[in-house]
Amino acid sequence: MSTTSFPEGFVWGVSTSAFQIEGATSADGRGPSIWDGFSADRAEACDHYRRYPEDVRLMKDLGMAAYRFSVSWPRVFPEGSGKVNEAGLDFYDRLVDELLAAGIKPYATLYHWDLPQALEKLGGWPSRDTAHHFADYASAVHDRLGDRVDTWFTLNEPWVAAFLGYGSGVHAPGRKSAAEAFRSAHHMLLAHGLATRALRSAGATRVGTVLNISPVMTPAQVSDFGRELSEEDAEAVARIDALANRQFLEPVLRGSYPAELLPIIERHGGLAHIRDGDLDTIAQPVDLLGVNYYTPQVVQAQPSETADPAFPGSEGVLFCTIPTAVTAMGWPIVPNCLSLLLRRLSREYPELDLMVTENGADFVDTMTGDGIHDVDRISFVEEHLRALQSAVEEGARVRGYLVWTLLDNLEWADGYRRKFGLVHVDFATQRRLLKDSALWYRDVIRRNGLTETRPKRPTLETVAARAGVSRATVSRVVNGEAAVSADVRTTVMRAVKELGYVPNAAARSLVTRRTNTIALVLSVPRQGDSLTAAVVQYVTSMLEGAGKQITLMLADTAESHRRIIQQAEARLVDGVVLLPPDRADTLAERLSRTGVPIVLLGKPAVASLVPYVDVDNAGGAEAATEHLLARGRRRIGMICGPTDLVSVQDRLAGHRAALHRAGLQPLLALADLTRASGTAAARQLLGDDPALDAIFAATDQLAIGALQAAREAGRRVPEDLAVVGFDDIDAASATTPGLTTVRVPLADQALALARLLLSRLEGRHTESVILPTRLVMRDST
């Protein structure tokens, strides 16, 4: 089969990071890092500290030419500065020697997020001193390894470390301050410049840095890169690009910050931390830019939107979910964006060499008797390599590609449940097992390229012919039926292994009689057309992308319920996505007895074994009430809505919990779901308690009704009366004043439903999904 080759000398390899694989967190004098206390899981990880010879042998066997590893700063300087821990450097001595003996070129990254805890106590990255300590650390590591390591990366993904670690708080050290995030970002850039200068003065051959760069685009541009944008969308795209990408690219490569970024930084904490001469230091010449690409940033203008904590200054920008295939982490898979990104970098910085230093995906791996057939990961990497090759053919200066990652590992705040590795790790035994993706990547490296056409997958008929049995027998074997004799089973499984056959729906259908049809059952919507529309759009798109056919069914009468049950009992559908009525209903219970996999939108009124997707209604109500309390409101009334609705019950419970902690009693008024009933309920609350200073409503419609009642009573909002809603319907941002509310993630609910059903169809263990809500603060409070 013919091959399309990459350029001669193209570098193939993998990347890892110290904290995620090394373990040995207290061995040989290593000090604690900010992640040791922040991570919920023990950081013994892959025990690479002791098992590195085995891991290097794996890389050698797979033909790797390069290995990008990170050095653990607290292993070298347990206190962050001061005396070097020679035993810590000894480990990297041994690792580098082992790599070179195996013919693998070491690429060293000096900072992959594991700041010594001792430096965090002294201020962390918001402190300018940390940048100078980093330069000293870089010099110490180069003094030991510089005779054998010729390529150095200073930082890995400073945007993540600064804005997830100090802005949104979802990464270590868990701080939540926009001002500290911007200061951290600048000091990391300064650290890069100081370290680059120190490395060069010590004789380093090649120095660069690694940035996570994501093309920023609107949903329409995902399928049409050339789509022209409205002025508002163009501004939103440019602003997020400045925050996510150009905040780091331009200081390093041009010696200046984007002009539109400086006012944002100044507004969130001033510019005093950016001193004269800093940008000259930051803009030290680099030899290589590492590019980490996983997925695009998809946004559009939305005037009422509040800023995402990870993107301070993103007010008026909505971060969008798009209906496309996703990884197990929910990241959209858009390979062509890698081509777009590499072409852009080569166009804007034509003399700069690039290397894709991270690209990979988390998928749910299934262990079988003959290995892990991770076809999704193979497809992901192959499609991205084709996109990369296209960019190279168009002139992009890409010198290599490193998969993320070698081993399943400790995935930061997500712990051990994420699987990015080419190699499976049993964390109980530390046993390594090559996945199919590792063997496939080995063949790519040997060929220095991809086959021109994708190899045709072996079919059920191919396996049957090889084994000398019928198609039905093959299907029974791959589905685990006990009726097949041991000899026949051995013959079939040998053929399956030799051909690399992965059982598909056709094979399973001979035994399971699957139809590849999914029933999307809609009740009369009571929670708003926007939720129903999102479910229809995203669930349909994702399931059809998985090869399923969708049948829409309306469950609004007893006769329609009977017809739906009959379809399931006759096995005319493989699964059911049910949007149940808001009030108690028996349809879900009756469907569950048919044995057909079913998933629900919304927590059922009665505890059930049927998995469901819902939002954190109680948590959202607590956040809304705590927001009012933090603003000094003490006479807070709640418009409940119908208390037989599960969502209203949970919102009421969250509201009561927040008041209870504050030592206050709830003031309640009942209503139905209409705006008019919200007005009436608010009138009642204001009449019962003239000192009322806030209203929390269980839905936005009720809250909008409360705004009307406030106007009628001559109460000023928010001066006299603060009002908060729930759901963030479109009308919430159009009220006067704009309504503070709790946003529920519509598209994410729909995508979670689809993923949950697909997991059930594959026979995987499934649990209900509760998605977080977010308080959106507007003028009504």
Choose, from 22, 120, 305, 358, the residue flagged as catalytic: 358
Q: Which residues of 690-729 are buried (b: 16+ CB within 10 A; e: fewer)?
A: eebbbbbbbbbbbbbbbbbbbeeeebebbeebbbbbbbbb
> Concatenated DSSP letters for 524-573?
PP-S-HHHHHHIIIIIHHHHHHTT-EEEEEE--SHHHHHHHHHHHHTT--
Question: Is 358 an active-site residue?
Answer: yes
Smallest CA-to-CA distance from 318 within 301, 295, 296, 297 is with 301
* Residue 497: how many other CB atoms lie within 10 Å: 12
Can you list the pairs that 91-94 forms with residues at least 24 positions away whose Cβ atoms lie under 8 Å? Answer: 91/28, 91/49, 91/52, 92/141, 92/144, 92/145, 93/144, 93/145, 94/52
Q: Do the Cβ atoms of 640 and 648 come closer than 8 Å?
A: yes
Question: How far apart (Å, rounded) are the C-alpha atoms in residues 131 and 111?
Answer: 11
Six token digits for residue 203: 């004789």
Write down the catalytic residue from 22, 120, 157, 382: 157
Are the beta carbons of 405 and 420 closer than 8 angstroms? yes
The candidate with the shortest Cα–Cα distance to 741, out of 712, 711, 710, 777, is 777
SS3 assignment for 472-527: HHHHHHHCCCCCCCHHHHHHHHHHHHHHCCCCCHHHHHHHHCCCCEEEEEECCCCC
Closest CA relative to residue 578, chosen from 562, 592, 563: 592
Return the SS3 of 275: coil
Beta bridge partners of 105: 66
Q: Which helix (H) or strand (E) holds 134?
A: helix 129-145
Distance CA 736, CA 406 (A): 54
* Integer angstrom CA distances of residue 175 from 34, 126, 773: 11, 11, 20
The identity of residue 2, as a single letter, is S
Closest CA to 742 of 598, 587, 625: 625
Query: Which residue type occupies 517?
Result: T
CA dist 400 and 566 (Å) reads 57
Lookup: tokens for 709? 């009642």
Q: Are strands 667-669 and 3-5 parallel, antiparallel or unpaired?
A: unpaired
Which segments of 324-423 does DSSP mark as H helices, in order?
336-348, 375-393
Query: How far apart, in whole angstroms, are the C-alpha atoms of residue 108 and residue 596?
Result: 52
Q: Tell me whether residue 622 is one of the annotated catalytic residues.
A: no
CA distance 623 to 689: 24
Distance (Å, whole) CA 734 – CA 703: 13
The neighbour count for residue 1, using CB atoms within 10 Å, is 8
CB atoms within 10 A of CB 146: 17
Q: Please report, to the nearest 10 degrees, the dihedral formed by the alpha carbons of residues 575, 580, 586, 590 taken in order.
A: 0
- Looking from the CA of 593 toward its CB, the CA atoms found within 13 Å total 7
Q: Say how far apart CA 256 and CA 274 lie, in whole Å.
A: 11
The closest of 729, 615, 745 to 675, measured between CA atoms, is 729
Contact 551, 529 (CB under 8 A): no
- Residue 320 DSSP class: P
The set of catalytic residues is: 157, 358
